[in-house]
Structure 1
Amino acid sequence: MSLDGKVAIVTGSGRGLGLAYARQLARQGAAVVVNDVDERAAADAVAAIQALGGRAVAVVAPVGPTETAQALVATAVESFGRLDILVTNAGVLRDTVLWKMSDDDFDTVVNVHLRGTFTTVREAVRHMRQAGEGGRIICIGSPTGQRGNFGQTNYAAAKAGIVGMVRTWALELKRAGITVNAVVPVAVTAMTATVPYFAAAVQAEEQGESVPAFFRHDLGFGTADDVAGLIAFLGSDSAEAVTGQVIGVGGDRIQIWTHPDAALTAYQEGGWSYDALVAAWPKEFAGALQSVGEHFPELPDEFRPAAP
Structure 2
Amino acid sequence: MSLEGKVAIVTGSGRGLGLAYAQELARLGAAVVINDVDAAVAAEAVQSITAAGGKAVAVAAAVGSTETARQLVSAAVDTFGRLDILVTNAGVLRDKSLLKMTDEDFDLVINVHVRGTFTCVREAFAYFKENNVAGRIITIGSPTGQRGNFGQTNYAAAKAGIVGMVRTWALEMKRAGVTVNVVIPVAATAMTETVPFFEKAVQAAARGEAMPEFFRKDLGFGTAADVAGLVAFLASDEAGQITGQAIGVGGDRLQLWTHPEAAATEYHNGGWSYEELISSFDGLFGHKLQSVGEEFPELPAELRPEPAAAAH
TM-score band by shorter chain is: over 0.9
Deviations 1:130-152 (A, max 9, x none): 01021000000000000000000
**Aligned partners of 1:222 and 1:236: how far apart in 2?**
23
Give the stretch that moved more between structures: 272-281 or 252-261. Answer: 272-281
1:278 Cα shift?
1.0
Aligned residue for 1:145?
Answer: 145
Aligned residue for 2:182?
Answer: 182
**Aligned partners of 1:133 and 1:66: how far apart in 2?**
21
Aligned-partner residue type, residue 19 of structure 2: L
Deviations 1:164-216 (A, max 9, x none): 00000000000000000000000000001111000000001111111111100
1:66 Cα shift?
0.7
User: Is residue 235 from structure 1 mapped to residue 235 from structure 2 by the alignment?
Assistant: yes
Aligned-partner residue type, residue 242 of structure 1: I
Aligned residue for 2:201?
Answer: 201
**Aligned partners of 1:71 and 1:306: how far apart in 2?**
47
Aligned residue for 1:260?
Answer: 260
Aligned-partner residue type, residue 121 of structure 2: V
Aligned residue for 1:83?
Answer: 83
**Aligned partners of 1:287 and 1:122: how far apart in 2?**
43
Aligned-partner residue type, residue 164 of structure 1: G
CA RMSD for the aligned pairs? 0.5
1:92 Cα shift?
0.3
Aligned 1:1-308 pairs, distance under 5 A: 1-308=1-308
1:281 Cα shift?
1.4
**Aligned partners of 1:59 and 1:236: how far apart in 2?**
24
**Aligned partners of 1:252 and 1:136: how far apart in 2?**
24
Q: Secondary structure at the residue paired with 2:35?
A: strand
1:37 Cα shift?
0.3
Size of the aligned set, in residue pairs, is 308
Aligned-partner residue type, residue 136 of structure 1: R
Give unmatched runs, 5+ long, in structure 2: none
Aligned-partner residue type, residue 75 of structure 2: T
Ranges of 4+ aligned residues in structure 1 off by more than 3 Å: none
1:48 Cα shift?
0.4
**Aligned partners of 2:75 and 2:83: how far apart in 1?**
10
Give unmatched runs, 5+ long, in structure 1: none
1:52 Cα shift?
1.3
Deviations 1:61-105 (A, max 9, x none): 000011000000000000000000000000000000000100000
Give the stretch that moved more between structures: 144-153 or 204-213. Answer: 204-213
Give the TM-score of the pair, scaled to structure 2.
Answer: 0.98
Aligned-partner residue type, residue 239 of structure 1: A
Aligned-partner residue type, residue 185 of structure 2: P
